Amino acid sequence: MTLATLLNILKKIIDICFVWIIIYYILKNIRRNVKFSMIFKGIIVIILIKIISDYFGFVTIGLLLEYVITWGPLALIIIFQPEIRTALEQLGKTNLLGRHKTLTVSEREKVVTELGQSLEYLRKNRIGALIVFERDTSLLNYIEKAKKIYAEFSNELLCSIFFPDNPLHDGGVIIQGDKITCAGAVFPTTVDMKFSKRLGTRHRAAIGISEESDALAVVVSEETGRISVAAGGKLSYNLSIDEVKLMILEELMPKSETFIVEKDEPEEDDIDEIN
């Protein structure tokens, strides 16, 4: 085997690796973005119908689907231009080492404790709030348009931001690690029709940002005082403060630490304490 042959094989391997990397990142963004996942499912359905129509010889539906497949990509680019632009921006802004992963156990517990105190105050006083935790996907696009703060996460600061007389109380705050990065952030609202029309702007914005990214959004209803959490385009409604704290604590836990926790088996003394 000559050197030229080895180099040719190496080029082909590198070429295939690049293709798989591109496919991996495309599928990763489709999984995180609810709108893109719906588009992807629709494309799969059209292709399956086309295959079935060709197999059974359905001329009319086959002809229509040929036009759809021919002009569909152009139509998708025009219709979903904002979503495509957002996805491309996220590819360039993805944090490979998320801010939350640098937090120690005590720092995460402090954040969750302060959050619990804030939620208790906001809930009792019926003060609306939208608190967004950044994870792997950067929220820099929303931070740049909001009021910069970058202060230590604390119950007092969070409650003062959402106090009704504060000019920033209508927007949301973004949390990076254990810092409140900005306030008054404006997020896209969901257009998914499966959610009730009774949901207010804060809840729809929470769902919207969870559709656009992997962020966690905590919402306090101004009307009812109920607490909800949006993640992955889904809304967990009317949660207790302990449920919210546990959810945030688990989601902010680094993957490596989660792996260790899952592998470790509780000792007899720990089981006795739990019981």
The pLDDT score that the predictor gives to residue 271 is 34
Do 196 and 249 share a structural domain? Answer: yes
Question: What CA–CA distance (Å, rounded) separates 23 from 116?
Answer: 40
Do 140 and 81 share a structural domain? Answer: no
- 271 domain residue, yes or no: no
For residue 63, give its domain range.
3-93
Bridge-partner residues for 219, per DSSP? 130, 228
- 174 domain residue, yes or no: yes
Do 124 and 14 share a structural domain? Answer: no
- 272 domain residue, yes or no: no
Question: What CA–CA distance (Å, rounded) separates 67 from 60?
Answer: 11
Do 155 and 77 share a structural domain? Answer: no
- 134 domain residue, yes or no: yes
Do 147 and 16 share a structural domain? Answer: no
- 25 domain residue, yes or no: yes
CATH number at residue 150: 3.40.1700.10
- Collapsing DSSP states into helix, strand and coil, what is residue 166? coil
Q: If we measure between CA atoms, which residue out of 124, 172, 130, 123 comes closest to residue 147?
A: 172
Do 105 and 86 share a structural domain? Answer: no
The pLDDT score that the predictor gives to residue 100 is 43
The pLDDT score that the predictor gives to residue 95 is 47
Do 120 and 83 share a structural domain? Answer: no
The pLDDT score that the predictor gives to residue 211 is 86
Do 103 and 77 share a structural domain? Answer: no
- 258 domain residue, yes or no: no
The pLDDT score that the predictor gives to residue 90 is 59
Torsion (CA) 124, 130, 136, 137 in degrees, nearest 10: 170
Question: What CA–CA distance (Å, rounded) separates 216 from 32?
Answer: 12
Do 169 and 191 share a structural domain? Answer: yes
- Collapsing DSSP states into helix, strand and coil, what is residue 247? helix
- 268 domain residue, yes or no: no
Strand duo 234-239 + 227-231: pairing: antiparallel
Order of all β-strands in the sheet with 216-220: 147-152, 179-185, 172-176, 129-133, 216-220, 227-231, 234-239
Do 125 and 15 share a structural domain? Answer: no
Do 104 and 86 share a structural domain? Answer: no
The pLDDT score that the predictor gives to residue 67 is 83
Kindly state the DSSP code that residue 101 receives in the 8-state scheme.
G
The pLDDT score that the predictor gives to residue 258 is 44
Question: What CA–CA distance (Å, rounded) separates 231 from 216?
Answer: 5
- 266 domain residue, yes or no: no
Do 198 and 76 share a structural domain? Answer: no
The pLDDT score that the predictor gives to residue 266 is 43
Spans of the chain below 70 pLDDT: 1, 28-36, 80, 82-102, 254-275
The pLDDT score that the predictor gives to residue 74 is 81
Q: How many structural domains is the chain composed of? A: 2
Q: Which residues contact residue 240 at a Cβ distance below 8 angstroms, ignoring those fewer than 6 apart?
A: 227
